[in-house]
Amino acid sequence: MHWSLAIAKDIVERREEKKHVLATGITPSGDIHVGNLREIITGDAVHSALVDMGVEAKLIYVADTFDPLRRRYSFLPEEYETHVGKPLSEIPDPAGCHTSYADHFLQPFLDSLADLGIKIEIFKADEMYKSGMYVDVIKEAISRKEDLSRIIEEVSGRQVSEEWTSFNPLCDACGRITTAIVKRYDIDNEEVYYECECGNNGVASFKGGGKLAWRVDWAARWKILGVTIEPFGKDHAAPGGSFDTGKRIASEIYNYEAPYPIPFEHVLLKTKVVEGTKAKVTAMSSSRGTNIPVHEILEAVPPEILKHVISRVRPEKHIEFNPSLPLLYLIDEYEREIGGIGRGIAEKIPFRHLLTLVQIARGDFSELLKVINRSGYEVPKDKEEIKEIEEKARYVKNWLREYAPPNLKFELQSVLPIEELKNLSEPQKTALKLLTPELQEGKTPNADDWHNKIYEVASATNMEAKEIFKAIYVVLLKKPSGPRAGWLLASLDTEFIRERFKDCYR
Ligand SMILES: [Zn+2]
Ligand SMILES: [Zn+2]
């Protein structure tokens, strides 16, 4: 049984609600990465399992756009120092292409979710506050301040200071949401009087003039949105942590039952192995620059693969994400056990095989169609099917450029590499010569034919087949190794091979 089904069954058994709301969310303070994606994929998998069981459920996503910028991250220009403490929705886009800082990081991620085929209802925290959705829960939080302090102290074991307030006003002079101190509340008029570090004294509305402290905000949000299930990073699930606090705030302040929790482990990024170093495994982090943004990895792998990479692992286990060879193994596994990628001919050509074909075609698409044809696939006339091939080839090219290990890359040599040829033995050259009679006019061997022929020649000349493979790679690719030789030879123009092999023993 897939873990998502086991969780869905447990939810139905333990909870009384007949309709479920699964909440996910993230703070768009930087690139939203593959580690962050785990939350959505986990929620999506459980949501699908519930729906398959006939349970009414919806998946939502809350973007914490009203959270302050915590510090100037290394990817931000110096002048962003002045924006620290302001809500992300109120800071300009550092790249200048979106309406705000928050949108700049959020939008590519939302586009990726659409690519991943995840249907999700989006809420932006700043809009929720500005529209007044929070007014009632803010009033409740303000009038129960003593209880909130006590709960936080009891659960976290941390002393809460006298000045602590559950509501953080947004200063209308400096724009920060982290520096004002509340002086007085006017609950009837839904306003708060504050004094800011910048010297400003002002009045802020409960409707967008500030936000709840985050532990309170989390519980308040469950009530506002009717959240019944929530996946979150295991850090929040620690005893005395934010989920424990939220649970008590929800029940004691808001008379609401906390959602069914689905804590999940981190996604660790295995970085590229640079020569002379060992691969490093680090937790993905936007602020430390150790991450791969979701929209970037989706340039190099099809969405179904990315989904598979994450959903195949149970939430309580960490995922070691290595976009290089291990990712290719997962693609192989997916194509073998679950289904081909793309439709029509594209679906029939394995990703790994296309790696070879794309490199033989040197990135030229019309040449690629010829190469595909020579490899024994009938190239379709249908425009849609051609588009599917183009799409899959685009993933292949991007993966090759960004993540492929050097031993998978090769360059078909347009002329015979004379220097390297000198390193081949006479028997190796003879073997190449013996391979060519197969190439008489009208005969186009397929990959299996080539493979068998190589072994025939090996036994006839008393050579090891690997010596012949090496010779083939050297004269075609100028390196001692390469893709499966049968595939390679079958996808090349026979006349080209004949000329090349002939030149070797001339
Ligand atoms: Zn932008
Ligand atoms: Zn201020």
- Give the model confidence (pLDDT) of 24-68 as tens digits: 999 999 999 988 999 999 999 999 999 999 999 999 999 999 999
Q: Ligand 2: distance of its center to the CA of 142 in Å?
A: 21
Q: Ligand 2: distance of its center to the CA of 217 in Å?
A: 22
Taking the domain 3-135+214-264, which CATH number applies? 3.40.50.620
Task: Find the helix or strand (DSSP H, E) in which 62 lies.
Answer: strand 56-63
pLDDT digits (tens, 9 = 90+) for 383-437: 999 999 999 999 999 999 999 998 899 999 999 999 999 999 999 999 998 888 7
CA 47 to chain CA centroid, nearest Å: 19
First to last CA, the chain: 63
Q: Ligand 1: distance of its center to the CA of 45 in Å?
A: 30
Ligand nearest to the CA of 196: 2
Ligand nearest to the CA of 95: 1
Ligand nearest to the CA of 181: 2
pLDDT digits (tens, 9 = 90+) for 113-152: 999 999 999 999 999 999 999 999 999 999 999 999 999 9
Name the residue type at position 61: Y
Q: Is 389 helix (H, G, I), strand (E, B) or coil?
A: helix
Crossing angle of the two packed helices 351-360 and 383-402, in degrees rounded to 10: 90
Q: Ligand 2: distance of its center to the CA of 406 in Å?
A: 54
Q: Ligand 1: distance of its center to the CA of 113 in Å?
A: 18
Q: Quick check: 443 pLDDT over 80?
A: no
Average pLDDT over residues 440-449: 77
Taking the domain 418-504, which CATH number applies? 1.10.10.350
Residues 6 or more apart in contact with residue 303 via CB below 8 angstroms: 115, 116, 117
Q: Ligand 2: distance of its center to the CA of 136 in Å?
A: 25
Q: Ligand 2: distance of its center to the CA of 202 in Å?
A: 9
**The pLDDT of residue 325:** 92
Q: Ligand 2: distance of its center to the CA of 65 in Å?
A: 19
What is the C-alpha to C-alpha distance for residues 414 and 493, in angstroms, rounded to an integer?
12
Q: Quick check: 271 pLDDT over 80?
A: no
Q: Ligand 2: distance of its center to the CA of 77 in Å?
A: 22
Ligand nearest to the CA of 93: 1
Ligand nearest to the CA of 199: 2
Q: Ligand 1: distance of its center to the CA of 108 in Å?
A: 9
* DSSP calls for 151-175: HHHHHH--PPPTT--SEEEPPTTT-
Q: Ligand 1: distance of its center to the CA of 299 in Å?
A: 18
The DSSP letter of residue 15 is: -
Q: Ligand 1: distance of its center to the CA of 269 in Å?
A: 25
444 in Cβ contact with 374 (< 8 Å): yes
Confidence bin at 503 (pLDDT 50/70/90): confident
User: Please, how many CA atoms are within 13 Å of residue 239, restricted to the half-sphere of its CB?
Assistant: 0
In the chain, what percentage of residues exceed pLDDT 90?
78
Q: Ligand 2: distance of its center to the CA of 203 in Å?
A: 12
pTM: predicted TM-score of the whole model, two decimal places: 0.88
pLDDT digits (tens, 9 = 90+) for 454-469: 999 999 999 999 999 9
Q: Ligand 2: distance of its center to the CA of 173 in Å?
A: 5
Q: Ligand 1: distance of its center to the CA of 76 in Å?
A: 13
Q: Ligand 2: distance of its center to the CA of 148 in Å?
A: 26
- Residue ranges per domain, the chain? 3-135+214-264, 167-212, 267-322, 345-400, 418-504
Q: Ligand 1: distance of its center to the CA of 107 in Å?
A: 8
- Distances from the Cα of 199 to the Cα of 83, 165, 300, angstroms: 17, 19, 51
Averaged pLDDT score across all residues of the chain: 92
pLDDT digits (tens, 9 = 90+) for 309-333: 999 999 999 999 999 999 999 999 9
Which residues have beta carbons under 5 A from ligand 2 (an ion)? Answer: 171, 173-174, 196, 198, 200
Which residues have beta carbons under 5 A from ligand 1 (an ion)? Answer: 93, 95, 97-98, 104
Confidence bin at 291 (pLDDT 50/70/90): confident
Higher pLDDT, 483 or 291: 483
